[in-house]
Structure 1
Amino acid sequence: MEAINNFLLLIDSYLGSAAWFPYVLLGVGVFFTLYLGFPQLRFFGHAWKVVSGKFDKKGARGDTSHFQALSTALSGTVGTGNIGGVALAIFLGGPAALFWMWVTAFLGMTTKFVEVTLSHKYRVQTEDGTMAGGPMYYMDRRLNMKWLAVIFALATIISSFGTGNMPQINNIAQSMEMSFGIDPMLTGGILAILLAMVIIGGIKRIAAVTSKIVPIMGGLYVIGALSVILYNVDQIGPSFAAIFTDAFTGSAATGGFLGATFAYAFNRGVNRGLFSNEAGQGSAPIAHAAARADEPVSEGMVSILEPFIDTIIVCTLTGLVILSSGVWSQKHENVFSRTDLDVIVGQYDDSSDADRTKLYHYLNDTKENQVNRFNGSIQVVNGSPVPGDYTILHARSVAENVQFIVAGENPYTGVLRIENGQLKKQDIVVKGESLVHSAALTSIAFSQGFIGSAGEYIVPISLMLFAFSTAIAWSYYGDRAVVYLFGQRGVMPYRILYVAGFFVASFADTTLVWTLSYVAIVLMTLPNLFGIFLLRREMKDTVKAYWEDFDAEQSKHKSDQ
């Protein structure tokens, strides 16, 4: 399993994690933004009117309203990325990463507009009377590239498990166990039953549920976030200053944070931005294809609002909570993750400017780096490591008050072998103070507001709602990909397997599936970006025709009055 996982990581290093990928993603967004004349700005107000139902027409084909389609798509994007993904981006790239998440979202508003319009235009009606759409249909029906459509559909099925299903319940189960002491298997069992009850009812039940969950979870999260931001109102200005001043230079060192290069902040900001709003990935168009509308552009208008709500509003709130509270650069007591643990040669003090500079080059892997990973043994007495020519790093920071624990809460005494910076003894629990990241960082930040420590509970509850709604939406994406590949007969087996995987992942290691999804996401994104670029002229003509028809209709309506 480890060999397979490493192989997939190697493939991903040439795809989604490669330096060229963010430029391709942003490049397509820049092209369509200029080519279509900044539709995310010009059509923004109109989009709100469309989603409100102002221009709805009786008899339009589809299964859901504009608002329900938007809610379903948002439930697929507003998830762990908004809670843990923003925290991870700031942890890795500093405040500057948030700027590049904004850029990704702004450009993504146009990319979403294009992919949703084209996917809605080439949707089909299935055997059971429901609508099915998505990039695979325009690839097949318009571009005559069935091979590309098959790749996209297979990648969508893999991603439905790798991003929308298994990691979501795994995060929920771990969060509920950590915050409330609930057994992960119990959490998985209850939510798996609820998931089955929702998705077996198809898109109409999915849309009905998500249209109720999304406003509730959004409202709860916004209230909690504002309680922290307003409590730390004096830090809002400095937070924005750090975001913008570091955007093109990288984030400077502060507190336990040892700094990040521009490349690191840019890559992590764009990467987390895509993970959060999925613009260009081709997933949301599958939900929007079900909307009741005869004009594809009208549904494309609705999708403009997605990256705005998901990233520019929700992710910004998370980012401001983390930055204004100051917890992102502070060390906190935590149990160390082995993947974040690193032992290096030499004794370093992060209060020393010279040492901070050396650690900066090491952590950002610059050509100036002269720090090496430690190989040798560490003597431990009653849980505490005996000082030597080494430094323990955890979560990209110098670890403090480190304790090695064995067999529950018993302090370890003995010798620990370190190879290439990694602790070899597996039954050791390592605790101490260091930076933290992901949902744990967001939880700490939410406790720094008007409601105090009770704010921490907002995160696991929000995480449960966000992640569960994501699992619901992605079940539909995989469902439609199955319909495209195998027809209606494949839907029920897929749904059963989806629910089973959801339950198992609540207590099992999902690392391999998560890594597989890295590759699958790119195998969705690249074909979709390639396809919409080939249809750029058709997109422009379709938008032009929409406005001509809309203006004529409005003129007729006025003359009738």
Structure 2
Amino acid sequence: MEAFGKIVSTIDGWLWGPWLLVLLFGTHLYLTVRTGFIQRKLGLGIKLSVTKDKGGQGDVSQFGALTTALASTIGTGNIIGVGTAVALGGPGAVLWMWLTGVFGIATKYSESLIAVKYRVKTKQGTMLGGAMFALERGLKQRWLGILFAVFAALAAFGIGDGVQSNAVADLVYRNFGIAKWISGVVMMAFTGLVIIGGIKTITKVCERLVPVMSIIYTIGCIIILVIHRAYLGAAVVEICTYAFAPKAVTGGLLGYGVMAAARFGIARGLFSNESGMGSAPIVAAAAKTMNPVRQALVSMTGTFWDTVVVCLMTGLVVVSSAIANPAIDYSNGGALTNAAFGQIPILGTLILTFGLLTFAFSTILGWSYYGEKGAEYLFGSKIVIPYRVLYTIIVLVGAAIPLGLVWDIADALNALMILPNIVAVLLLSKVIVLETKKYDGIHIDDVDTTPIPFMEDLRNAPR
């Protein structure tokens, strides 16, 4: 296991080198410009997320697709991921996470747009879409679609499954002394009960769970920020200063410069909001919508809520707590976040535990759908039930694997998903621009109501 861990760590370090950071962040900036700073339409996207698209074709509502996507993104990345980023990259990593969210909104919009535009209807009458179909139908590069599907099906076991159950098991053991395998068994049982019903059951659970868990966690963050209000100014200064410092030195952090801050900030930012990874567009393709722009606008709000709001609040909580309590241990991201919430007497640990439990569980549910659709693209509908069974078992396995190894595997698989997805959004950027201009400035009730044509079953159609 130790030798395997070193190999994975080496691969992870290479994949997340400067070249990928430049590619990912550069794509965010490029698409921001190409879409005419689509972030300005954020308010419209929020309005659309609670507006029914009458007559739209799809499996779930736009709001249901959004909450399912949020369920998979608002997870341990918002809690443990932020703490890990600060522990490994210094306070400056928080700013890089935030910038990844701000500019990543354009990428989330773009990848969701092409996911809906090129989606298909299966023989079972359900929608199937994502980067794999954009690559196959939009670029005529099926081999890249296959690669993306393979990476998605495998990445789900890491970012969406093992990492989540591991983080929950570790926190429960740390705070309540409950054996990790017991937490794993409980999570495995609940996961199986939900995902066996497919996307409609997953969506119903997420529509109810996501708003509640987000509000409770946000209240906890606000309480801590009020307690540490005297340190907020210093926290902001440290976050901004160490994001670009040649060598950051603060508290227990020594020797982490701008590259470490950028690497771990962008990597954890991606882990949190998944902009550029092509995961959330898979569920966006299942939404009931008449045209791709409407759902793309709705989908991009997920990055705003997840990273621009929730991750920033967590980052301020962690850094301000570290300034207020210099003795806090920086060696473990989970311990760092746990110590920060421990500032709230009695309720702090309960809020963090509830937040992590619900965030992680919702992420497990959302990613089960992503991985399942990747597998279905490769092998057809016959793989769905076996995949759900294996995915459920991995919940238990992930709870017992060493945390560092789990994160490295997840990071590596995330990077591999990015590559074909970035190819899709960059080479189809002209299509994205044309679709955006087609609806730009039109009132949401006056958009084209012509249903999007679908291929009934792509696998039986001429390629």
When normalised by structure 1's length, the TM-score is 0.76
CA distance in 2, matches of 1:193, 1:483: 23
Structure 1 match to 2:461? none
Query: Whose relative contact order is higher, 1 or 2, with alpha carbons under 8 Å and at least 6 apart?
Result: 2
Q: How does 1:174-193 map to 2 (within 5 A)?
A: 174-193=170-189
1:537 aligns with 2:430: yes
Could you tell me whether the CA contact under 8 Å between 2:58 and 2:287 is conserved in 1? yes
Q: Which amino acid aligns with 1:318?
A: T
Structure 2 match to 1:52? 50
Structure 2 match to 1:517? 410
Count of paired positions: 449
The Cα RMSD (Å) is 2.1
Q: How does 1:244-393 map to 2 (within 5 A)?
A: 244-250=240-246, 252-326=248-322, 330-332=326-328
Q: Which amino acid aligns with 2:295?
A: E
Could you tell me whether the CA contact under 8 Å between 1:28 and 1:533 is conserved in 2? yes
Unaligned runs of 5+ in 2: 450-463
Alpha carbons of structure 1 residues 315 and 97: separation in structure 2 relative to 1, 3 Å: same
Structure 1 match to 2:10? 10
Q: 2:375 aligns with which of 476, 479, 482?
A: 482
Structure 2 match to 1:27? 26
Greater helix share, 1 or 2? Answer: 2
CA distance in 2, matches of 1:109, 1:520: 22
Q: 2:348 aligns with which of 450, 455, 459?
A: 455
CA distance in 2, matches of 1:328, 1:491: 50
Q: How does 1:79-228 map to 2 (within 5 A)?
A: 79-228=75-224
Shift, 1:301, TM fit: 0.3
Alpha carbons of structure 1 residues 86 and 123: separation in structure 2 relative to 1, 3 Å: same
Q: Deviations over 1:36-80 (max 9, x none)?
A: 211112x11111111011xx3332111111111111111111111
CA distance in 2, matches of 1:235, 1:548: 43
CA distance in 2, matches of 1:58, 1:106: 30
1:438 aligns with 2:333: yes
Alpha carbons of structure 1 residues 260 and 224: separation in structure 2 relative to 1, 3 Å: same
Shift, 1:321, TM fit: 1.1
Structure 1 match to 2:59? 63
Alpha carbons of structure 1 residues 529 and 3: separation in structure 2 relative to 1, 3 Å: same
CA distance in 2, matches of 1:555, 1:284: 24
CA distance in 2, matches of 1:113, 1:208: 24
Shift, 1:537, TM fit: 0.8
CA distance in 2, matches of 1:230, 1:145: 52
Q: 2:250 is paired with a residue of what secondary structure?
A: coil
Alpha carbons of structure 1 residues 81 and 535: separation in structure 2 relative to 1, 3 Å: same
Could you tell me whether the CA contact under 8 Å between 2:235 and 2:323 is conserved in 1? no
Q: Which amino acid aligns with 2:10?
A: L
CA distance in 1, matches of 2:321, 2:129: 43
Alpha carbons of structure 1 residues 308 and 517: separation in structure 2 relative to 1, 3 Å: same
Moved more, 173-182 or 151-160: 173-182
Alpha carbons of structure 1 residues 6 and 241: separation in structure 2 relative to 1, 3 Å: closer
Shift, 1:215, TM fit: 0.8
Shift, 1:518, TM fit: 3.0
CA distance in 2, matches of 1:248, 1:276: 22
Runs (4 or more) in structure 1 with deviation over 4 Å come to 508-514, 548-552
Shift, 1:473, TM fit: 0.5
Alpha carbons of structure 1 residues 18 and 489: separation in structure 2 relative to 1, 3 Å: same
Q: Which amino acid aligns with 1:45?
A: G
CA distance in 2, matches of 1:105, 1:57: 27
Alpha carbons of structure 1 residues 99 and 511: separation in structure 2 relative to 1, 3 Å: closer
Could you tell me whether the CA contact under 8 Å between 2:17 and 2:263 is conserved in 1? no
1:243 aligns with 2:138: no
Q: 1:57 is paired with a residue of what secondary structure?
A: coil
CA distance in 1, matches of 2:123, 2:263: 43
Shift, 1:316, TM fit: 1.1
Could you tell me whether the CA contact under 8 Å between 1:62 and 1:291 is conserved in 2? yes
Shift, 1:11, TM fit: 2.6
Shift, 1:135, TM fit: 0.4
Could you tell me whether the CA contact under 8 Å between 1:96 and 1:251 is conserved in 2? no
Greater strand share, 1 or 2? Answer: 1
Could you tell me whether the CA contact under 8 Å between 1:62 and 1:130 is conserved in 2? yes
Q: 1:253 is paired with a residue of what secondary structure?
A: strand
Q: Which amino acid aligns with 2:82?
A: V
Q: 1:248 is paired with a residue of what secondary structure?
A: coil
CA distance in 1, matches of 2:8, 2:234: 40
Alpha carbons of structure 1 residues 435 and 506: separation in structure 2 relative to 1, 3 Å: closer
Unaligned runs of 5+ in 1: 333-433, 557-561
Alpha carbons of structure 1 residues 545 and 191: separation in structure 2 relative to 1, 3 Å: same
Q: Deviations over 1:343-377 (max 9, x none)?
A: xxxxxxxxxxxxxxxxxxxxxxxxxxxxxxxxxxx
Q: Percent identity?
A: 39
Could you tell me whether the CA contact under 8 Å between 1:328 and 1:441 is conserved in 2? no
